[in-house]
């Protein structure tokens, strides 16, 4: 071994020193690798004190595994234990999460946060006890999609149910603002995000029922061309993330449509620019659904307006296009 080390060594000096240096380096590297291996491969068993059924144990394991990204997590349903084999951070997050989720109904903790790293946080928040599972899933989907959270999971085995989120500080702050606006204290408002983007919540007054809410959402989303436009049907809330000009058009359009039928307005036109106008035509004569659809097809063909939609619940047609297209639509509709 010494001969090989000498032959392969490029160090100058006494031959014995060369051997000592090489052997020390080899031992040091071995110790370092051993320490790194230990740090990345720790193991800890947790006992579940308040999570009893197999379904509950499975759900809490799924939330922990997904949040910590620990694919080696093992569960013993009979012994009600959870074994985590992973990094120190994964074990620490698991310990904190179980303190938030594996609790008795009489000891539900307040909303809490764990700092997992630089701009990496885990938060747990409870839903109102009166919410149904469908409502919980709907509001969670809306928040996750609007904010584009890194991770969001629902935990329904506790009462009340909880949401577990892991993301950056800015994204979690936006998510908490949305939860407050949707569930705690509804009211108009705007949240300023990064890169000149904002989130607004729109509370409908005259659209009730999931079908009608989805109809107006589809019209607004398509007219404004807003990819991040979502609904929360139980609260009759529309939400959108975008730039100021698109948000202002959406706000105007929602205000025009969310009125008692028949629609009328002293200012039924919104100008995004001189060549880009949106107008709501409230029809004077009642029309059936087939009649309204046929009229919309005829208008779209004649005006060549790509953004033209009929709103059945309000007996109206919305057009976005050039001034010439708007005028042609107005001429064709006449006294309809």
pLDDT tens track of the chain, all 336 residues? 333 323 333 323 333 333 332 333 443 444 344 444 444 578 999 999 888 889 999 999 999 999 999 888 899 989 999 999 999 999 999 999 999 999 887 788 889 999 999 999 999 999 998 999 999 999 999 999 999 999 999 999 888 999 999 999 999 999 999 999 998 866 667 898 877 889 999 999 988 888 999 999 999 999 999 999 999 998 899 999 999 999 999 999 999 999 886 666 555 889 999 899 999 998 888 789 999 999 999 999 999 999 999 998 888 999 999 999 999 999 998 866
Q: How far apart are CA 165 and CA 172, in angstroms?
A: 8
Q: Is 319 buried (19+), middle (13-18) or exposed (0-12) by CB count in 10 A?
A: buried
Strands 307-311 and 81-86: unpaired
pLDDT number for residue 334? 80
**Looking at the domain covering 263-336, what would its CATH class be?**
alpha beta
Neighbours of 265 (CB within 10 A): 12
Domain ranges of the chain: 2-39, 41-167, 186-258, 263-336
Decide whether 186-258 matches 263-336 in CATH topology.
yes
- Single pTM value for the model: 0.79
DSSP notation for 14-60: -HHHHHHHHHHHHHHHHHHHHHHHHHHSEEEEEE-SS--SHHHHHHH
215 φ/ψ angles, rounded to the nearest 5 degrees? -65, -50
32 φ/ψ angles, rounded to the nearest 5 degrees? -65, -45
User: In CATH, what number does 186-258 get?
Assistant: 3.30.1370.120
Across-strand partners of 115? 121
């Amino acid at each position: 071994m010494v001969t090989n080390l000498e032959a392969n060594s490029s160090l100058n000096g006494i031959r014995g020193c060369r051997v000592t240096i090489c052997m020390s380096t080899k031992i040091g590297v071995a110790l370092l690798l051993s320490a790194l291996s230990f740090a990345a491969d720790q193991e800890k068993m947790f006992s579940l004190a308040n999570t009893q059924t197999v379904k509950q144990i499975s759900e809490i394991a799924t939330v922990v595994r997904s949040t910590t990204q620990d694919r080696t997590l093992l569960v013993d349903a009979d012994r009600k234990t959870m074994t985590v084999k992973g990094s120190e951070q994964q074990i620490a997050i698991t310990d904190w999460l179980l303190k938030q989720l594996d609790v008795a109904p009489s000891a539900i903790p307040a909303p809490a946060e764990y700092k997992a790293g630089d701009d990496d946080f885990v938060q747990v928040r409870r839903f109102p006890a009166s919410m149904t599972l469908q409502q919980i899933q709907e509001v969670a989907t809306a928040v996750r999609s609007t904010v584009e959270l890194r991770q969001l999971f629902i935990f329904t085995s506790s009462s009340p149910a909880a949401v577990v989120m892991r993301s950056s500080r800015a994204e979690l702050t936006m998510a908490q603002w949305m939860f407050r606006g949707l569930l705690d204290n509804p009211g108009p408002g705007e949240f300023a995000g990064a890169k000149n983007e904002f989130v607004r919540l729109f509370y409908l007054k005259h659209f009730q029922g999931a079908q009608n809410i989805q109809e107006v959402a589809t019209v607004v989303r398509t007219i404004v061309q807003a990819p991040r436009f979502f609904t929360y049907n139980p609260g009759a809330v529309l939400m959108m993330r975008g730039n100021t000009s698109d948000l202002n058009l959406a706000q105007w359009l929602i205000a025009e449509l969310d009125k008692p039928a028949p629609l009328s307005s002293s200012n039924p036109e919104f100008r995004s620019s001189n060549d880009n106008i949106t107008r709501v035509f409230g029809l004077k004569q009642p029309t059936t659904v087939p009649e309204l659809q046929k009229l919309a097809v005829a208008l779209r063909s004649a005006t060549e307006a790509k953004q033209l939609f009929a709103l059945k619940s309000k007996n109206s047609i919305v057009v976005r296009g050039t001034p010439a297209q708007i005028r042609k639509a107005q001429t064709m509709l006449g006294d309809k």
